[in-house]
Amino acid sequence: MLAQSQENLIINCSVVGKVECCVSLFQSFTYWSFGLVGEAKLYMALAFVGSTALGAAFGEAFAVLYSTVKDVISKTIAFKSILQQLKSTLDVLDPLVKDIQQSNRELGRSEKETHDLIQQMNKGVKLVSKYSNLKGWKHFVRCHYENKLCSLDEALHRFFQIHIPAWGFRNGIEVLRGVNDLCAQTNSAGINGVLPCAVPEPPDFDVLPCAVPEPPDFTVGFDVSLKELKMELLKEEVLMLVLTAPGGCGKTTLVKMLCQDEDIEGKYEIFFVMVTKTPNLKDIIQRIFDHKKVQVPEFQSDDDAINHLKQLLNRIKQQNPILLILDDVWSGSESLLEKFKFHMTGYKILVTSRTAFPRFSCKYKLKPLSDEDATKLFRHSAILQDGNSYIPNDDTVKKILKFCGGFPLAIEVIGRSLCGQPVEVWRSKAVKWSTGHSILGSNSDLLNCLEKSLDFLDDELIIKECFMDLGSFPEGQSIHVTTLMDMWIELYELDEDGIHAIANLYEISARNLASLFVKRKDASDFANYYSEDYVTQHDLLRELAIHQSSQGPIEQRKRLFINIGENNLPKWWMDQKQQSLSANLLSISTDAMFSSSWCNIQPPEVEVLVLNFQTKNYQLPKFVEKMDKLKVLIVTNCGFLPAEVSNFQILGSLPYLKRIRLERLSVPFLCKIPMQMSSLKKISLFMCSIGQAFRNFTVQVSDALPNLTDINIDYCKDLVELPEGLCDIAHLKKLSITNCHKLSALPEAIGMLVNLEMLRLRCCSDLSELPESIRSLQNLRILDISACLSISKLPKHIGELSNLEELHMKECLRLSRQLPESIMELKQLKLVICDEERARLWEPIKDFLTNLKVVVATKVINLNWLHNRYF
């Protein structure tokens, strides 16, 4: 039909009319091609526009391959899914190849550009023949041929989706050049008139560059999310809604389903725009104009383009409200989104992105699939098209699904990879992944999808490094924010207050690479209290962090994660060469069966050491004493019972050790071991048994820890009294004792801590009073006694704290007496945070302290922060 139309056009056109005929011909075929159904037909039509011929050799190779595949399928019953897949591709392409060949027989063309694909199809004929003759038991050989046939199928798709359009556009340019040449010829001949050209009208097809794609044929687990997303979007006050989740969670699928919802489809004029990594605003708006078949004006600038878009949308919304969908928006595109965000009744924007843009308040976070829905999707993906496929028992399926983490993409990729495989392959995969091998190592599609989330700008690379550090901690463990701050301050030489470390963590959370849980605070609460905040990470994203960190030779890696099951040390560790490592972050995790039998290694460059264990008795590795550059030591008991750690004396040989954090340990060693840690600045004890740690000192604390500036004691339930020995630490600036409910008294000697700047006694419910000696803490800036339920009065001479700036006293329920008179001497006091009852005590004081701001904290009942806190 196309060839005949072309022939008629050429016959009916005079020499003078060739210019118009060429233009009309080009336009006609362009409109016709965009109206065809199916990508392959579209690309074929585009190819024909520029007189692109596939060539005889290509057609012959295609015909032989097609005939061979059909013949083999008709004779072979078992293991033919890949052949069916390949045949489906060839079924679509066969008539199109024939049409193009027939219409271009009279046109000569070099077949150089199709040479590689012709050779691949010729090889495909041989592959199909060999594949069909394999014996049934040769599964692994068959898998080898299946991969090659998959590659051929992909090559055909790629050829018709990339090369053919490229030829079409190239030849289209050549047509226009020919038009210009004809124009020049006719002008030179002095011909002023043109004859009418009998161009047939293009078929009446819609050109919809912003049409909504169809959702997958099979979806599961989106019903609740669909209702919630629609509810959020249809709220009157919502102009822009950001649908966010990590890559592979099904954001685009959910939006496609939304567009078919009865409350959306037909009621909204929908523009579905897929946004590139480097979006062009003018291009996006041009596509919207093309979608409505409106002539695209020449935009002078981005602002001009937006103004034209507003005018267009104002006309459209007179008939239907508008929904603009911007799909897969990359991090850093906030300014682009802002330009589309103009207030107009009947206009809404739905954005899908891996980044939860903090600038936009309306967000919906898509959660992974539940176990039940994940199982349904997995079983569907693992069944052959003919319905015949062996799926092992539920236990094997559960083990495999555990590593998919509810990500639809991971479930489908793993399901397809196991489709048709024997039970031994299924079990092998389950065992392999459960023993530490990464699920990403053998699944390039899944890896490529997740890796896109790690595209950071050059000045953001430190955020990527911080993300990969999260692989240091065991699967499913909550990671304390203060732990990460200690690591990153030393690893990346950030500020001591940790402001930059926290900013990096917020960015990681915004990109859905981890989840940050902040105990809800009053907006005026001071910003440097993070002890109750923590981070969790999806198992698949943890796998991504470990995979990214595990590239290259072991001895050259920047960070090294070692997971030891029972006593099975890595082979490289047992190498007699005792290789030296260059990693500056070393994480070693052991299970409950580990016997603390360490091999020797040489890790001289390690700056941060993370030890995670589950045994009741644990011994620090002897090779730690060789870590001359070690700055941070984190030791965590991940078991359910308290544990003791020995061999702490080796820390005395580390000249640069600055920070120690111990979690869920019995700590009997402080100041009883004759060692000096002269560089130690901070020690943190979380849920530790420390009742005996500060008793019967054999050495002075000030001698053992001469430069200690920061002590954090949190949830240490057996701390009854703070020993006076700690008050000898002259350089101490921060003392935080929180959630220690049995602490009943502070020593009078606390007044000796003359350099103390922050004293936090939060949630120490048995603490009945503050000693009068705190009047000597002239450098104290922050005092926090929030939720100290037993304190009934403030010290009489509290007014002598001449540099006090913040006082936190919310939920001090027994503190109901009049405040001491000396309180009016706190001239530097700027902020008091309290509850309503305590706020009334400050009413008469505010007239004297003109710079004072009293903030009533909102009561919040929120137990989310208790998640996975070992309770």
pLDDT at 416: 86
Angstrom distance (rounded) from CA 244 to CA 352: 6
pTM of the prediction?
0.70
Q: How many other C-beta atoms lie within 10 A of the C-beta of residue 817?
A: 10
Pick the CATH number of 223-365 from 3.40.50.12140, 3.40.630.30, 3.40.1160.10, 3.40.50.300: 3.40.50.300
Tokens 């009334």 — which residue? 840
pLDDT at 83: 65
Cα of first residue to Cα of last residue in the chain, in angstroms, is 76
By the 10 Å C-beta count (0-12 exposed, 13-18 middle, 19+ buried), 566 is classed as: exposed
Sign, Cα dihedral of 152, 156, 161, 165: positive
Q: What is the DSSP string of 16-84?
A: TTHHHHHHHHHHHHHHHHHHSSSHHHHHHHHHHHTT----HHHHHHHHHHHHHHHHHHHH--SS-HHHH
Contact 747, 765 (CB under 8 A): no
Angstrom distance (rounded) from CA 221 to CA 530: 36
Q: Exposed e or buried b for every residue in 414-445, given b needs 16+ CB within 10 A? A: bbebbbbbeeebbeebbeebeeeebbbeebee
**Under CATH, which number does the domain 456-541 receive?**
1.10.10
Domain limits, the chain: 2-188, 223-365, 371-448, 456-541
- Compute the 3-state secondary structure of the chain and give helix, strand, coil in percent, each to the nearest 5: 40, 15, 45
Looking at residue 711, its amino acid is: I
Check for a shared fold between 223-365 and 456-541.
no
By the 10 Å C-beta count (0-12 exposed, 13-18 middle, 19+ buried), 819 is classed as: middle
Three-state secondary-structure class, residue 252: helix
pLDDT at 544: 92
pLDDT at 66: 67
The number of angstroms, rounded, from the C-alpha of 164 to the middle of its chain's C-alpha atoms is 35
Both structure tokens of 447: 């890896």
Residue 558 sits at φ, ψ, to 5 deg, of -75, -35
Mean pLDDT in each 10-residue stretch from start to end of the chain (871 residues)?
39 37 40 36 37 55 69 56 65 60 47 58 69 52 60 64 54 54 46 36 52 91 94 94 93 94 92 90 91 87 92 90 94 91 91 92 93 90 69 82 89 86 84 81 82 85 94 91 95 88 92 85 59 90 91 91 86 70 93 82 91 91 92 93 84 92 82 73 92 66 86 92 84 94 92 95 93 95 94 94 94 90 93 92 88 83 43 33
The torsion defined by the Cα of 479, 580, 617 and 724, in degrees rounded to 10, comes to -70
- What contacts 244, CB < 8 A, 6 or more positions away? 251, 352, 353, 354, 355, 356, 357, 363, 364, 365, 366, 512
Tokens 């056009």 — which residue? 9
Nearest to 802 by CA among 783, 773, 832, 826: 826
Contact 50, 168 (CB under 8 A): yes
